[in-house]
Structures are given as structure tokens and as C-alpha cells.
Amino acid sequence: MPPTHHTPTEPDAVAPAQLHAVAPVEAVIPLMRGITVLSRLTEAGGTSSLSGLERTTGLARSTVDRIAATLARMGYLRLDGRDAVLAPRLMELGNAYLAALRLPRLLDTRADALADELDESVSLAVADRDGIRFIHQATRRRAMSLSFRIGDLLPAERTAPGPLFATEWTPEDWARWRDRRAADPHDLGFPTLPPREHPVGDEEFEERTREADARGWSLDDQLIEPGLVAVSVPVRDLGGRVACVVSVVSHTSRHTADSLRDTLLPRLRATVQAMERDLREAPAQPPAAPAGLATWTGASKQELGREFVESLARGLTVITAFGEGRAALTLTEVAQATGLARATARRALITLEHLGHVTAHGRTFSLTPRVLSLGFPPLSRTTLPQLAAPHLAELADLLHDSASLAVLAGDEIQYTARVATSRIMSVNITVGTRLPTFPTSLGRVMLADLTPAERAPFLARLHPLTPHTVTDPAVLGATLNRVRENGYALVDGELEEGLRSIAVPVRDRTGRVVAAVNVAMHSSRRTAEQCVGEVLPELAATAGRIEADLRVAGRFTRVPAT
């Protein structure tokens, strides 16, 4: 079997001696298989049919079904007809790694500022064995070239950061790198990359590594694809080791590799100096209590019976025991955090170590960058409408009424997601539709969150759309204050005669209102009281689920509102 360094979880792989020593094979195989399923789904872009998974994992259909049911129960994927779709909650695994690493939190503001200053993409990458893996991306969206996502893995030799990391490689690292190159000369093991068309010799990378060592910077002159150029500088930790590498990425339509070096390297270096200062001055991380453990409970087993694979759920829970102030944990600490028996925690840790998601140093364990391969790249691109859509569908299904998500766009609201019921309504609303802000429930919950000064322009232009439309700024102002207090807005026939709608805000991690969700219906369907009594609790629960997903997805990535 060829070495598959980033996909080591072959379903029929024989567990190594170390695993045999600690656990009966039956006890570790479910976690290995669960991770295989998550890896294949990630490589497929986040969605695959269950029969597709059967093919790509080589597992029996009944096994795929049981693993998918378990992951669905944990909130890590959704079953959508015959498809399995990765769910934002899965990002809590990658978040555990990124929080433990601390670097994104400490450095991302400076990376974003550099991207703004240069108007070019800027990335942070860490070493992942003989590859590099991105931990932050400040991407300038441009049509010209592909851009990588947080969690994407690239072969070191086809990047600018690679030679900088390779300056610290041991002879074993170099041997592993040569083995991988020999086994996979076209880089087919890196699904996010165009294949290597003109294989270059090993000497070239060795030479680039010597240069990087001498100069302290490194270039990528279209090693990934024609047009893509990058310049990189290492950020060193207090011990002088490369903690991560910052890259400025451009396109030959704007820069050659040489002009990138000549014009942008000085500013990149200034940023790296500031980053190294930040690292030196960052207070030591006090040990923290575990926060936000995966919500696996024994109830899942009772509920799903044979379909719930407990050892898979327990094994993944172990990953969430790590985090900020919890980068290196002993077995005892992992068992305490997760509530698992020591033997169970130990089995999970050693299985995860075998799969390359955990490393052991003496008595402590830590997560590796490979944890990001469990869903992070596709999920890091999730938008708020995508995140909300399944929750809106559930709500519309429950209430048999249309449910929508909207944001403020200039002085109007814009629908960004909508699940319509078959009921005919004269307001023909689709995604993208814009409506005036003041006579809609969606608009009012968003206006209610604004300061008086921010509200003023909206209140200055009130005009009647029906005989019921509130057009007195003082009256609307008082209404908005009540909306803010109550946490919802109910609008009756002010936009259109006979249309009743109720909305609640959607808040991000910081408490800011970023969108609103509503349920709209013909006024003959429910009284205003019924809307508050029957619809509001479900609507609020839906907003709560969207906010919970947003908290997980938005911890290390920016979730676009549209």
C-alpha cells in the first residue's frame, strides 16, 4: 500500500502493535472509521451521498449508516435525504486545536491589517509533517487564482512557507518527505491542488531550503499553479523556533515573484517583527477549565440504540477537551474534562495519536494541525444564509408557514434565505428581494439594535404603504424601544394588508445583531396573540440554534452575512 500521509485512516488498516497493546481492536475501530468518514466528506467538499461514502471509505453500507447516524446525533453532520452534509458544529474540533495553538488569536489582527494595507491576500501557515497547513486566511477575493482555506494542506515543496519550515527538519523528516514524493509524484494525495505537471527533482527544494535558511524569507514563483506567486517570512517563538509562517500571496497580473519580494517584503517583515513582539509580550496562558465540551450524552445511545456508536462519540469528545490554556493535557486531565473512564480516554488518545491527530510528549498529549482536516476547510467558507437554511426549513416544516432570514442592506432589508410554504401570498418574496425597513418585522428587530443616531435616517423617511403603516417617527421610535425590550417585533398589515409577521434578531458572538429571522403568514391564519404564544417560542429557538452555530463557526473565521 502506498503511504497516504494525509489520509492514514484506511478502513482495513491493521492497528499497530501499540494499539493492540492497549485495546481490543473492536474498541478502536469505530473511532478510526468515523474519522475516515469525516475525512472523505471533507475531501468531497462537505457533501456526499451515503452510497458515495460507501465507495470512498470502502466501508459496508450498514457501517456508513451507523457512523452517519452517530455523527448526526452529535450535530457534526446533517442527513439530507440520501446525502450526508458536514454541519458547522463540527468546527468545534478544529476550534479546539486553534484555541490551544493560540497563534490565530494573537496574530490574526496584524495579518488582516497587512492584507488591508497591501491589498493582497495574507495567510498564516503551520508545519504539518512534510506539508504546510493554513491556520488563518485574510483573502482578497479575486477571480484570477484559487485561494486556500483554513485547514487546507499543501506539499511543503510547492509553497513559499515550505522551505522555511524545512530549515528545521530532522533527517527523518527529510526521509518521510522523499518517500511521499516517490510514492505520489503527481501530488494526487493533495486534493485541493492542481496535479504536479512537471515533476521537479528533490534537489530544487533542498536548494530553496538552504536559501531560505540564509535569507530568512522564501518565494513561491508559480509552484502551485501558473500565475500564483507568494513571499513568506517565519514568525519565531521565544525559543527561536518557527511558530508559523506569514505569506503575502499575489498574482502575476499584479506582481512577479521578484517584484513581490522587492516591494512588499519590507512591509511583511515589519509585520512579522510586530507579531514576534506580540508573542513575547503575550501573558502566559493560565491553565483553564474545559469550555464547551462536545455535547455527547448517554441519552443518545438510548435514543438510537445500535445505530449510536458510543466509542466514536467518546473518541471525538476527547478532542474538545483541549483548548485555550489546555494545549497539553495528561490522561487524567482528559478523563476529568470529558467524564470518560481513564481506560476509555486512553484508548481514544492512543487511537487519535495513531491517526496523527494527537501527539504525545512524555506524560502529556496535544492536538496536531491535522485535526483541521476534519471538516474545517469546506466549513470555514460557510455563509450565514447557508448556516441558517436547515434551521429555517425545520421551522417552516413545524409551523407550515414561510420562514426567512434577512440583513440590512443600505436603507432596506434584503432577504438572504427563505423557506416558503406552498400557501399563496401576494407578496412574492425570494432570496435577494429588498423591502423597506420600517414597516417589516425583520427590519424593526434590526433597527431596534441601532443607536438613536443610527436609527435617525430610517425614521426620517416614513411613508404609508397601507392604511395601517406607522408613519409618525415618535410612534415608531417608541415601538422600536419596545421591540428591543421584548426581543421580537410583530407587524400587522403595515407592509401589505392581510400580512402578519413576527421576527427576532440573530446575534453574533459579540452580541451584535447581524440578521433577523421571521415567520410570515396571512392574518387569517393566526391572531396576533397566537403568533406570540405559538410562533414566537419556536422562532426564538430557531434563532438560538442559528446563533449557536454562528458562535462555533465564527470563532476563528469570519462568517459572511450574505
Closer Cβ to ligand PHB, 140 or 434, answer by number: 140
Q: How far is the CB of 202 from ligand PHB (least distance, A)?
A: 18
Does the protein bind ligand PHB through residue 321 (CB under 6 A)?
no
DSSP 206-218: HHHHHHHHHHS-E
Which residue among 76, 97, 148, 415 contacts ligand PHB (CB under 6 A)?
Answer: 148
Q: How far is the CB of 132 from ligand PHB (least distance, A)?
A: 8
At residue 408, what are phi and psi to the nearest 5 degrees? Answer: -80, 135
Stretch that binds ligand PHB, among 27-35, 158-166, 415-423, 548-556 (CB under 6 A): 158-166
Of 109-138, binders to ligand PHB (CB under 6 A) are 123
Q: How far is the CB of 245 from ligand PHB (least distance, A)?
A: 8
d(CA 421, CA 414): 19
Does the protein bind ligand PHB through residue 224 (CB under 6 A)?
yes
Q: How far is the CB of 205 from ligand PHB (least distance, A)?
A: 13
Stretch that binds ligand PHB, among 109-117, 157-165, 173-181, 278-286 (CB under 6 A): 157-165
Cα within 13 Å of Cα(89), Cβ side: 20
Q: How far is the CB of 163 from ligand PHB (least distance, A)?
A: 10
Closer Cβ to ligand PHB, 155 or 375, answer by number: 155
Asked whether the beta carbons of 211 and 218 are under 8 A apart, the reply is yes
CA distances from 290 to 138, 333, 334 (A): 29, 10, 9
Angle, helices 536-553 vs 91-101, to 10°: value is 40
Which residue among 220, 401, 494, 496 contacts ligand PHB (CB under 6 A)?
Answer: 220
Of 265-294, binders to ligand PHB (CB under 6 A) are none
Closer Cβ to ligand PHB, 205 or 438, answer by number: 205
Which residue among 247, 402, 441, 542 contacts ligand PHB (CB under 6 A)?
Answer: 247
Which residue among 138, 160, 313, 506 contacts ligand PHB (CB under 6 A)?
Answer: 160
Task: Give residue 46's region: left, alpha or beta (phi > 0; psi -120 to 50).
Answer: left
Indicate the burial class of 315 (C-beta count within 10 angstroms; 0-12, 13-18, 19 or more): buried
CA distances from 380 to 23, 46, 119, 176 (A): 35, 11, 22, 29
Which residue among 47, 49, 147, 359 contacts ligand PHB (CB under 6 A)?
Answer: 147
Q: How far is the CB of 476 from ligand PHB (least distance, A)?
A: 48
Closer Cβ to ligand PHB, 31 or 245, answer by number: 245
The CA-based angle 437-442-443, given to 5 degrees, is 25
Which residue among 48, 159, 271, 344 contacts ligand PHB (CB under 6 A)?
Answer: 159
- Cell digits for 470? 406607522
- Name residue, grid cell 456508513: 64
Q: How far is the CB of 178 from ligand PHB (least distance, A)?
A: 21
Closer Cβ to ligand PHB, 88 or 131, answer by number: 131
Closer Cβ to ligand PHB, 247 or 373, answer by number: 247
Does the protein bind ligand PHB through residue 230 (CB under 6 A)?
yes
Which of 69, 77, 75, 79 lies closest to 42 in space, CA to CA?
77
Collapsed DSSP state (helix, strand, coil) of residue 435: strand
Q: How far is the CB of 219 from ligand PHB (least distance, A)?
A: 8
Does the protein bind ligand PHB through residue 249 (CB under 6 A)?
yes
Does the protein bind ligand PHB through residue 99 (CB under 6 A)?
no
Stretch that binds ligand PHB, among 72-80, 104-112, 159-167, 251-259 (CB under 6 A): 159-167
Closer Cβ to ligand PHB, 212 or 388, answer by number: 212
Closer Cβ to ligand PHB, 133 or 507, answer by number: 133
3-state SS, 370-413, equals HHHHCCHHHHCCCCHHHHHHHHHHHHHHHHCCEEEEEEEECCEE
Size of the site for ligand PHB (CB under 6 A): 11
Closer Cβ to ligand PHB, 249 or 442, answer by number: 249
Closer Cβ to ligand PHB, 95 or 159, answer by number: 159
- Name residue, grid cell 440504540: 305
Which of 197, 201, 268, 257 lies closest to 232 in space, CA to CA?
268
Closer Cβ to ligand PHB, 271 or 414, answer by number: 271
Asked whether the beta carbons of 338 and 326 are under 8 A apart, the reply is no
Asked whether the beta carbons of 436 and 510 are under 8 A apart, the reply is no
Q: How far apart are the first and last CA of the chain?
A: 45
Q: What is the CA radius of gyration of the chain?
A: 26
Of 167-196, binders to ligand PHB (CB under 6 A) are none
Asked whether the beta carbons of 552 and 74 are under 8 A apart, the reply is no
d(CA 321, CA 377): 22
Stretch that binds ligand PHB, among 42-50, 153-161, 168-176, 545-553 (CB under 6 A): 153-161
Closer Cβ to ligand PHB, 377 or 505, answer by number: 377
Residues that bind ligand PHB in the complex, under the rule CB under 6 A: 123, 147-148, 159-161, 220, 224, 230, 247, 249
